[in-house]
A and B are shown apart, each in its own frame.
Chain A
Amino acid sequence: MKQLALLILGCVCGAASAADSYTIGSDLDPRVRATDYMAENRRFLAASTALIQIQKESPQSTLPTEYYQRLADDTLNFGMQKRAEMIYREEAANGKDPLVLGRARLRRAEFLYERNFLPEATAELTALRSQIPAQLMVNWQDQMSRVLMAQDRYADAVQVLTKPDTASDQPGYMRYNLGIALLKSDHVDEGINVLDRVGTRKPTDSEGLALKDKANLVLGYYWLKRQQGGSAIPILDRIRQTGPFSNRALLGLGWAYLSVQGDKQKRSQVADDTSGPASGQFSSIGALLRPGFLDSDIYKRAGLKPFQLASSDPTQEAALKKALVPWVELVGRDPIDPAVQEGLLAIPYVLDKLGAHVEAQQYYEKAITALEQTRVNLDQAILSIRYGRMVDTIISRNGDADSGWTWKLKDLPDAPETFYLQTLIADHPFQEALKSFRDIRLLIRDTDAERQRILDLQAAYDVRTKQPVSQKELQQRIGTLSSDANLGYQPDIKPQLQMAQMLVAAPYEDKAKEAAEAPAPPIKLQLPSNAPSKFDGPYEQLNALKIRLDALSPKLKVAEDAGAKTLQKIALNDLDAQRKLNEKYLVEARFAIARIYDRASHGVAP
C-alpha cells in the first residue's frame, strides 16, 4: 500500500504542479507522511500527537486503515500499550491481510514480554499460532520460546523451537536459546551439541562474537561444574581474550587446569553443521597458552619470587603453571568484576595448597587491599544512588531523544554512581523502569513548555483583540517585533509576530478597520434554542487546557518520584549483592591469612 502510494506520488510529482487531493488520514495525507518522518527519527511522542490531532480535527470521520496502523505503532512505541492494543484488536477482528495482522500481534506480544507481562504474552502468542503466516513462523517461534523460557518452561520452549523444523532459518541466538532449553530440560547431549555448534560458528559482527563466547562459556562451565576440566579447557580456549565473557573464561580456565579429569569432548556431528574450527580473526584465550609460552617464567610474571614447592609432584607443578597463566592475566584487569576478585583469591589459594605459604600470604594481602578499595568504591556508589545522582547521570546523557519503548541504555557513563551498575544494563526490570522514568521526565519537560506556549498564545490573543490597524501600521509593527525577536527581547514575541504577519497576509484587514470605525448598529439577536450557554473561543479553550495541565503536573511529579525510587531500589539491591560478595571474599582472604599465621605460630608443617 505504501509502495503504491509512493508510486502514485512519484508520478504526480513528475507530472505537474496542479494540486492533487488526498483522503484525510491516508498514505497520501502530508500530515500522516510527516508522522512517518517523526517515527523514523524515533520521535514517537510527536508522531502520536500529530496523528491524534488529525483524528480530533475530523471527529466524525472514520479514517483509513493505514492511519490506525500508524497510530497503533507510534503509540505502542511511546509505551501506550492500552491504546495500541485496542487498535490491534479492532484490526484482528476486521483485518484482511494476515501478514500485517501477524506482525501487529507479534509486536504487541513483544511489548508484553518486554514489560514482563508473561502470561498475557503467552496467551497472545498461543492464540496467534494457528493464524501465523509461514513468513512469520520463525519470528513466532523466537518470541514464544523466549516467553516460555522466561517462565522456566524449557521443555515447552524446546517443542516450540523444533516444531516445525526451521533450524536453517533460525539466527544464532535462537539456536543458543534452544541449547539452553535442551540443557535445562534434561536433554543434555542434544543441548551440548547445539551449544557446541553455536560456539564454533564464525560470526563477523560483535553481537555474533559475543553470542559465540557466551555459548562456549556456558558449555565450559557445564563441564567444570562436573569436574570435567579436560572437557572444559578446549571450549573455554575458544573465547576471545577481550570481550564481555573473557574474565569469567580466564577464571574458569585456571580452575579447569587444576581439575583436568575427563577428556576433551569430541565434537558432535550434526547433519546441518557447517561450522569449522573457531575463527582466528580475534585472539582467543587459548592463545595465552600457545606453544613455548610456558617456557618463560610464569612465576616471575605473577610477581612471585622463586620458591620451592612443598609438593614435588611435577604434574601438579605443571598444572599450577598452566592455571597461573590465565589467572595472572585476569588479576591485571579491573577488580570491579567479581571474576577478577575471585582470581585475586584463587592464586594464593593454589599457592598455599602447593606449599608456597609466604607467596600465598603476599598474594592474599594484595587481594585484601584490592577488595577493600572495591568496598570503599561500592559504598561511595551506594551513597551517590541514595542522593539521587545515579538517575540524573544516566538520563542526562541522551535525555533529549523523544522516547520510548524501543529506547535502550547501551552503556553507562563513567561516573562513581554508575560504575558498578554494568550488570544491570542487561536487566529487563531496570531497563523498563529506566524507560518509564525517562518518559516521565520527557512529559514533565513537555508540559512545562506547553504551559509557556499557552501564556504566549494568550498574549498573542490580546494583540488580536486590540483596535484594528492599517496595513502600513502592521508592517511597522512586524518590523519592530522582528527586530525585538532577533535581539531576544520578550519571550512571548514570536506568537505576536506570527499574528501580525497573519493579519498582513489576510485580505480583509482594511475593511475590518472601516467596519470598526463605522457607528455600531443596534444589536438585535435571537439566539437559537440550542446555543451554548457560554462562549468557547480560543482564549477559553486555552484556559481550559491550562487547567488540565495544572492538574496533570503534580501527578507527573508523583510518578517521577516513584520512578526514581524504583530505579534506586533496583540499583541498590544490585549493589548490595555486590557488597555481600565483596565482603565474603574479604572474610575468605582474612581467614586464609590467619590460617597461614596460625600454622606458622604452631610450627605446623605446611
Chain B
Amino acid sequence: MNLPNPNPVRRVLLTMLLAASAAHAAPQSIPIPTVDPAQQLDQNLQNLKEEAINIKAELQTTEQTLLYPDLTRVIIYFGVPVSGLLVQSITVSVDGGKPFEYKYINAESIALQRRGIQPLVKLNAGPGKHQIRADVVAQFADAQAGAPPLTDHLEASFTKAREPANVELSLSRRSVVARPALELHEWVASK
C-alpha cells in the first residue's frame, strides 16, 4: 500500500503532543520549567500579606479592647465533635436577650464535624452568673431522605469572672451509643 507522506501539519501536531506528554502529577501535570513571571510578584506579595495580616491582627486586638474589654467579654463557641453529624442551625440567647441565630451552609457543617470550633457570638456581660439558652438542628449525613432532623435544647448557666469568659457549646455524645446532645463547657486561660 502507498502510504501518504507525512503532512507538515501532522508533524507539527505530533511534535506538540509528544512534547506535552510530560509527567503526570496529582492532580495535574508537571510544568515545563520556564522563567516564571509570577515569582517576582510572589515575593512582593508575601511582604504585602505580612503587613496586611499584622494590621488586621492589631486592629482586631484594638477593637476587642474597645468594644469587648476583658471585664465584660464573653465569647461563645460551638463545636460538633461527632463524625457525620451535619449541623443545620443553632440559636443562642444569653440572659433572655435577643436570640442569635446562625444557619450553616453545607461546607461549614462538614468543616465543623471535622475539627475545630466556631466562634459563634461575642458579647458583653458583667461579672456574675448568666443564663444561656441554645437550640440546635442537625442531621446525620447518611440519614434517610425524609428522616426528621436531630434537635436539642439546652438551658444552663455560666459564671463570668473578671477575666474574659470562653463558653463552649458542644453537640456531642456522652457515650459511643448515646444520642448527640448539647453540652456547655467553660474555659479560662491559665495564669
Give chain A's interface residue range (CB within 8 Å of chain B).
Answer: 35 or more
Q: Do B9 and A584 have beta carbons less than 8 Å apart?
A: yes
CA–CA, A454 to B77, complex, Å?
25
Chain B residues lying within 8 Å of A207, measured Cβ to Cβ, are 26-27
B185 and A56: CB pair below 8 A?
A: no
**9-residue interface stretch from B41-49, B133-141, B142-150:** B41-49
Inter-chain contact A19/B187, CB cutoff 8 Å: yes
In residues 45-104 of chain A, which contact B (Cβ within 8 Å)?
45, 48-50, 52-53, 56-57, 78-83
Least Cβ distance of A103 to chain B in Å? 16
Q: Which residue of B lies closest to A259 (CB)?
A: B3
Q: Are A13 and B66 in contact (CB under 8 A)?
A: no
B residues 42-84 near A (Cβ < 8 Å) are 42, 44-46, 48-63, 65-69, 71-72, 75, 77, 79, 81
Cα of A512 to Cα of B54 in the assembled complex, Å = 35
Are A34 and B77 in contact, with the CB atoms below 8 A? yes
| B112 within 8 A of partner (CB) | yes
Cβ of A171 within 8 Å of any chain B Cβ, yes or no, is yes
**Residues on the B chain within 8 Å of A499, using CB:** 66-67
Most chain A beta-carbon contacts within 10 A, residue among B3, B9, B56, B158: B56
Q: Which of B32, B49, B57, B71 lies in contact with A79, CB distance below 8 A? A: B49
Give chain B nearest CB distance to A493 CB in angstroms. 13
List A contacts of B33 (CB < 8 A).
116, 118, 150-152
Q: Does A538 contact B (CB under 8 A)?
A: yes
Chain A proximity mask over B93-123: 1 for CB below 8 Å, otherwise 0: 0000010000000011011101111110001
> Cβ of B13 and Cβ of A251 under 8 Å apart?
yes
B177 within 8 A of A: no
Q: Known contacts A460-B66, A563-B41; is A20 also within 8 Å of B116 by CB?
A: no
The residue of chain A having its C-beta at the shortest distance from the C-beta of B16 within the complex is A338
Given known contacts A225-B14, A433-B37, A39 and B116 CB-to-CB distance under 8 angstroms: yes
Which residues of A sit under 8 angstroms from B48, Cβ to Cβ? 440, 443, 552, 555-556, 559
Choose among B21, B107, B110, B183 the residue with the greatest number of A CB atoms under 10 Å from its CB.
Answer: B21
Q: Does A12 contact B (CB under 8 A)?
A: yes
Tell me whether B24 and A214 are in contact (CB under 8 A).
Answer: yes
Contact B30–A146 (Cβ < 8 Å): yes
Taken together as a complex, chains A and B put the C-alpha atoms of A28 and B21 apart, in Å, by 49
Report how far A150 CA is from B30 CA in the complex, Å: 6
Contact B1 A319 (CB under 8 A): yes
Q: Is A519 an interface residue (CB 8 A)?
A: no
Known: A14-B174, A588-B8. A45 touches B53 (CB 8 A): yes
Cβ of A49 and Cβ of B57 under 8 Å apart? yes
Chain B residues lying within 8 Å of A346, measured Cβ to Cβ, are: 7, 10
Closest chain B residue, CB of each to CB of A552: B51
Contact B190 A454 (CB under 8 A): no
The distance in angstroms between the C-alpha atoms of A17 and B3, with both chains bound, is 86
- The answer on a CB contact under 8 Å between B52 and A13 is no
Question: A116–B57 contact, CB under 8 A?
Answer: no
A528 to B41, CA, bound (A): 48
Q: Enumerate chain A residues within 8 angstroms of B117, measured Cβ to Cβ.
A: 30, 33-34, 36-37
What chain B residues lie within 8 Å of A339 (beta carbons)?
Answer: 13
Contact B2 A56 (CB under 8 A): no
Chain B interface SS verdict (over half): mixed
Chain B contacts for A584, CB-based, 8 A: 9, 12
Cβ contact within 8 Å between B187 and A353: no
| CB atoms of B168 and A117 under 8 A apart | no
Q: Contact at A453–B41, with CB atoms within 8 Å?
A: no
Q: How far is the CA of A569 from the CA of B36 in the complex (A)?
A: 12
Are A426 and B28 touching (Cβ within 8 A)? yes
Interface string of A1-43 (1 = CB under 8 A from B): 0100010011011100111111110001111011111111100
Q: Which of A19, A173, A258, A408 contacts B159 (CB 8 A)?
A: A19
Q: Using known A-B contacts A39-B116, A116-B36, determine if residue A562 contacts B159 with beta carbons closer than 8 Å.
A: no
**Could you tell me the distance in whole angstroms from the C-beta of A355 to the nearest C-beta in chain B?**
12
Identify the stretch in A273-281, A356-364, A389-397, A501-509 within 8 Å (CB) of chain B at 4 or more residues.
A501-509
A422 at the interface (CB under 8 A from B): no
Contact in complex: A17, B156 (CB < 8 Å): yes
Q: Is the CB of B77 within 8 A of A548?
A: no
Known interface pairs A45-B53, A542-B62. Does A20 touch B187 (Cβ–Cβ under 8 Å)?
yes
Decide if B166 touches A30 in the complex (CB within 8 Å): yes
Contacts A57-B61, A545-B58; A432 near B168 (Cβ below 8 A):
no
Bound complex: CA of A278 vs CA of B87, how far in Å? 43
- Min CB gap B23→A, angstroms: 4
B30-A506 in contact (CB<8A)? no
**Other-chain residue from B44, B63, B170 in contact with A457 (beta carbon distance below 8 A):** B63
Complex Cα spacing A202 to B39, Å: 39
Q: How far is the CA of A566 from the CA of B12 in the complex (A)?
A: 28
Q: CB-nearest residue of chain A relative to B110?
A: A40
- What residues of chain B lie closer than 8 Å to A549, measured between beta carbons? 55
Interface residues of A in 531-558 (CB under 8 A from B): 538, 541-542, 545, 548-549, 552, 555-556
A555 to chain B, nearest CB (A): 6
Contacts of A453 in B (CB 8 A): 59, 63
How far, in whole Å, are A232 and B68 apart by their CA atoms in the complex? 72
| Residue among B2, B29, B38, B75 facing the most chain A CB atoms (10 A cut-off) | B38
Chain B's closest residue to A404 (CB) is B49
Please give, as numbers and ranges, the residues of chain A lying within 8 Å of B36 by CB-CB distance: 115-116, 428-429, 432
Q: Given the interface contacts A37-B112, A218-B21, does A13 sit within 8 Å of B13 by beta carbon?
A: no
Give which listed residue, B30, B116, B185, B189, contacts A36 with CB less than 8 A.
Answer: B116
Instruction: Find B187's partner among A28, A316, A588 (CB 8 Å cutoff).
Output: A28
Q: Which residues 129-153 in A have Cβ within 8 Å of B in the complex?
A: 142, 145-146, 149-152
Mask for A487-502, Cβ within 8 A of B = 1, else 0?
A: 0000000010011011
Q: Which of A322-370 contact B (CB under 8 A)?
A: 338-339, 342, 345-346, 349-350, 353
Given A21-B188, A115-B42, check contact A13 B21 (CB 8 Å). Answer: no
Q: Is the CB of A53 within 8 A of B61?
A: yes
* 10 closest Cβ pairs, A-B complex: A36-B116, A37-B116, A40-B111, A428-B31, A19-B186, A502-B124, A21-B190, A433-B38, A116-B36, A53-B57
A sample of 20 inter-chain contacts (CB < 8 A) reads: A17-B157, A17-B186, A21-B187, A24-B190, A28-B187, A31-B119, A36-B115, A37-B79, A39-B116, A40-B112, A80-B46, A180-B21, A214-B24, A217-B21, A349-B4, A353-B4, A426-B29, A429-B38, A433-B37, A545-B59
Q: With A52-B53, A584-B9 given, can you name 10 additional A-B contacts, CB distance below 8 Å?
A: A14-B183, A19-B159, A30-B119, A115-B42, A173-B25, A349-B7, A446-B56, A502-B72, A548-B55, A566-B38
